[in-house]
Amino acid sequence: MICVNKPEKNVYNENMAVEKKPALINLHQLKVSCSQCNLSELCFPHGMNPDDMEKLDTVVEQRKPLHKSDHLFREGDVAAGVYAVRSGSVKTIVESPNGDEQIVGFHLPGELVGLDGFMDGKHTCTAIALETTSVCAMPLEKLEVLCTKLPSLHNQMRRIMGKEVNDEHKMLLMLGKMSAEEKVATFLLSVSRRMEERHWKSSEFVLSMPRQDIANYLGLAVETVSRLFAHYQADDVIQVDRRRVSILNMQRLKEIVGECKGAEASAVKS
Amino acid sequence: MICVNKPEKNVYNENMAVEKKPALINLHQLKVSCSQCNLSELCFPHGMNPDDMEKLDTVVEQRKPLHKSDHLFREGDVAAGVYAVRSGSVKTIVESPNGDEQIVGFHLPGELVGLDGFMDGKHTCTAIALETTSVCAMPLEKLEVLCTKLPSLHNQMRRIMGKEVNDEHKMLLMLGKMSAEEKVATFLLSVSRRMEERHWKSSEFVLSMPRQDIANYLGLAVETVSRLFAHYQADDVIQVDRRRVSILNMQRLKEIVGECKGAEASAVKS
DNA sequence: CGTTTGATTGACCCCACTCAAACGTGGTGG
DNA sequence: CCACCACGTTTGAGTGGGGTCAATCAAACG
């Protein structure tokens, strides 16, 4: 059986390249397999036994790769399924009645998108590819049927939804209570932690989203994000070159998030 | 059978009174019944058929009433069940590593609390009574067992979780993109709408939470909330006396939320 | 009636937004 | 190959929204 995941670094490489052309082989023509995917520990099947994972393989479909700015689904769409990012990255946004939009999440390989629609059948947010991105799709009906047969899958769904709620709570805390400095530091640490989860360098990475999207996500102006990146660079906390970020002083970043009152004097003296 | 819900206005009265003593009869000694509860249309059983609702009655337990500031559960607690507010009101909060907290929701009679813990077994937020409050508890194990038997209940769980996710998305939008004026107007409209859902006066109500909690919830300072209440009162949009609020110009409030750029000049001229 | 808690109001100031301009960088076409 | 344009990013200057601090006031409570 052909498995696109065998070469263990490929998906990461595709993710890291800011604007790389699609792979030579046509991913969406290949059968995919959770049980042989190197992202399985992060993704849907995390913690499931091999038998159940093989059953999960029967419901997972590979989708045609998305290009940058392509929509995976839109707010209001009937929810066709849950998606796992395979390579690339995705942002999810919600729109306000008066037009402007709030980014509610960035999703890296192994992370799930579309859980919002799993619940009441319609998506409450819009998902857009930040770069060339491929996803695995798990159609709702098949997933539901399988859920009734596999208790482990049922638990898995619950665990995953729990993480979703937890993440949104953290984000409410960030938007409601944090200063701009804390927000940017939190964002960098969040990306770093998730890079580490993927066994990718945690202190040197390429952001797949423009400053505008980071600012939107954090509830800030673009200029503020740009300035704070510059400040942190001047203080040797990070090094930035366009979208490439290196974290030089992880401890300092954590101090800024943990207790900004005490740390900001030394962290940012402007 | 004795049913505390028969007198249709009682729970509302208890809710509306800011600091009223518990009812003369001891609520927690009585058997409760979803099928005969006048909140059923708003609460868990919404849309379920009478047969299924009666089965739901078997898992619902009445709890001893909570006093003001009592904890229903704390972050980190093992999730014992899902709770429906019966009378009174509850706030849910999340805590940041450095100590300060963000209120993530206010819950009125008929609304559910504890869904965050339904997912991965542990609560990710803390629930505190804002006033004397009674809740119905649905223990997790019983609920799960019943879910496997009743497809309608299973769908219900999903619908309810969907609402939860949707609500949090709206809140992210509010905290991330709205001005103080828009936030306060949104808050007032939200309370008004929920009062109407409960067939209670939608333009004249008593807030069960102090200014401090409103400010925290909206990501503002207490003084800002107080000032905006005063501004809106000066413009005859609302009338406030401590916690009692009357909405005089609902249309204006909606304009402020919908398109603050065009409306703020006439709505608030400072 | 003093105390406490919550709400209001005013004065002041700072963080972060807005406006504006300059600066790469990458893509396109001549 | 270079000139050109478009886009994202950076940087500076100025400002205003909302936070902070502090005093006052009102209601509830012992």
A170 Cβ under 8 Å from any chain B Cβ: yes
Contact list in B for residue A158 (CB cut-off 8 A) is 118-120
| Gap from A45 CA to chain B (nearest CA, Å) | 16
Determine the Cα–Cα distance for residues B186 and B165; give it in Å rounded to an integer. Answer: 18
Is pLDDT of A24 > 60? no
Flag if A120 and B94 touch (Cβ within 8 Å).
no
User: Contact, A53 vs A76, CB < 8 A?
Assistant: no
Bridge partners, B73 (sequence order): B127
User: Is the CB of A206 within 7 Å of strand C?
Assistant: no
Cα→Cα distances A84→A59, A243, B31, B107, B218, Å: 13, 24, 45, 33, 33
The tens place of each residue's pLDDT in chain B, 270 residues long, gives: 444 333 333 333 344 443 344 444 454 445 678 888 888 888 888 888 888 888 888 888 888 899 999 999 999 999 999 999 999 999 999 998 888 899 999 999 999 999 998 778 899 999 999 999 999 999 988 888 888 888 888 888 888 888 899 999 999 999 999 999 999 999 999 999 999 999 999 999 999 999 999 999 999 999 999 999 999 999 999 999 999 999 999 999 999 998 544 444 444 333
Which residue is nearest to the C1' sugar atom of D20, using CA? B221
User: Is the CB of B100 within 7 Å of strand D?
Assistant: no
User: Contact, A94 vs B170, CB < 8 A?
Assistant: yes
Domain(s) labelled CATH 1.10.10.10 in chain B stretch across 178-267
Flag if B94 and A169 touch (Cβ within 8 Å).
yes
Contact list in B for residue A95 (CB cut-off 8 A) is 173
Instruction: Work out the angle at residue A257's Cα, subtended by the Cα atoms of residues A106 and A125, and round it to the nearest 5 degrees.
Output: 20
Contact list in A for residue B193 (CB cut-off 8 A) is none
- Mapping DSSP onto H, E and C, the string for chain A reads CCCCCCCCCHHHHHHHCCCCCCCCCCHHHCCCCHHHCCCCCCCCCCCCCHHHHHHHHCCCEECCCECCCCEEECCCCECCEEEEEEECCEEEEEECCCCCEEEEEEECCCCEECHHHHHHCECCCEEEECCCEEEEEEEHHHHHHHHHHCHHHHHHHHHHHHHHHHHHHHHHHHHHHCCHHHHHHHHHHHHHHHHHHCCCCCCEEECCCCHHHHHHHHCCCHHHHHHHHHHHHHCCCEEEECCEEEECCHHHHHHHHHCHHHHHHHHCCC
User: Does the structural domain A10-168 have CATH classification 2.40.50.140?
Assistant: no
pLDDT digits 0-9 by tens, B143-201: 888 888 888 888 888 888 888 999 999 999 999 999 999 999 999 999 999 999 999 99
User: Contact, B147 vs B44, CB < 8 A?
Assistant: no
**Strand C nucleotides in reach of protein CB atoms, 7 A cut-off:** 6-11, 15-20, 25, 27
Domain(s) labelled CATH 2.60.120.10 in chain B stretch across 10-174
User: Is the CB of B219 within 7 Å of strand D?
Assistant: yes
Neighbours of B68 (CB within 10 A): 14
Q: 3-state DSSP call for residue B173?
A: helix
Domain(s) labelled CATH 2.60.120.10 in chain A stretch across 10-168
Total number of residues shown for chain B: 270
Which numeric CATH code is attached to B178-267? Answer: 1.10.10.10
* CATH class of domain segment(s) B10-174: mainly beta
Flag if B102 and A164 touch (Cβ within 8 Å).
no
